[in-house]
A = this chain, B = another copy of it.
């Protein structure tokens, strides 16, 4: 559980590493607003988690907002019989935990060892009054998430297995590039089971589809944790229903 690895008590106020990640995250410094990052730094705590550790669970009181400094996190929801829907894969620079008084709407779990920055929701809300830019940025990020969620609904409701897997690979590649990872291989820190639950498929179908892409020369699979997009354009075409 998260509590076991929670080191925020030991290192309060440590500067957030993601603030150096190209301003992707909401705690990045804004132009001409030099005061703001320090104000945020003053209230953030860091959480160091091992792989496959839960950050919070669906329904937990929403006390903090999280930002990923290092590592990868997945969000998911469960049905009573154990069926699972992974709603997002998140990486360095991404944030999560935006919720109202109803509690978190999903469970958050690390996929790799992770270093998270954590902001108390109450304190953050108090800071909104002083630094309106902050809330604006948060609203912008929520709108981005919303657009991604709509895109995922289109995928889940209307795409074929082949299109789903292609969309997944293309999405990971695009986001890795945005984080500055321009290597030939895309990291797949999640299990096949996670991928299946993200795409609304079974692990068998994910595995078969990846094998098919490999046989067709569209991708390379150097090891379980990586994929090389050899024909990225063709994959993008497949992803969009071509």
Contacts and interface: CB of A to CB of B under 8 A. Distances in A.
A2 interface: no
Nearest to A163: B79
Given A132-B132, A139-B138, A146-B149, A158 B83 contact: yes
A240 B83 CA distance: 11
Interface string A139-156: 110111111011111101
A185 interface: no
Contact of A158 (B79, B128, B135): B79
A53 to B, nearest CB: 21
A77 B150 contact: yes
A87 interface: yes
Contacts of A138: 139
A241 B80 contact: yes
A199 interface: yes
Interface string A183-223: 00000000000000111100000000000000000000000
Nearest to A157: B200
Contacts of A176: none
Interface stretch (A6-14, A40-48, A99-107): A99-107
Contacts of A98: 143, 146
Given A132-B135, A138-B139, A241-B83, A100 B144 contact: yes
A141 to B, nearest CB: 10
A199 B140 CA distance: 28
Identical chains in the assembly: 2
Interface string A86-127: 010000000000111010011000000000000000000000
Please classify the interface of chain A as helix (H, G, I), strand (E, B), loop, or mixed, using the class held by over half of its residues. Answer: helix
A81 interface: yes
A158 B202 CA distance: 10
Nearest to A83: B158
Contacts of A128: 132, 136
Interface of A: 75, 77, 79-81, 83-85, 87, 98-100, 102, 105-106, 128-129, 132, 135-136, 138-140, 142-147, 149-154, 156-159, 197-200, 240-242
Given A80-B240, A83-B159, A105-B150, 5 more contacts: A128-B132, A135-B135, A149-B153, A156-B200, A157-B197
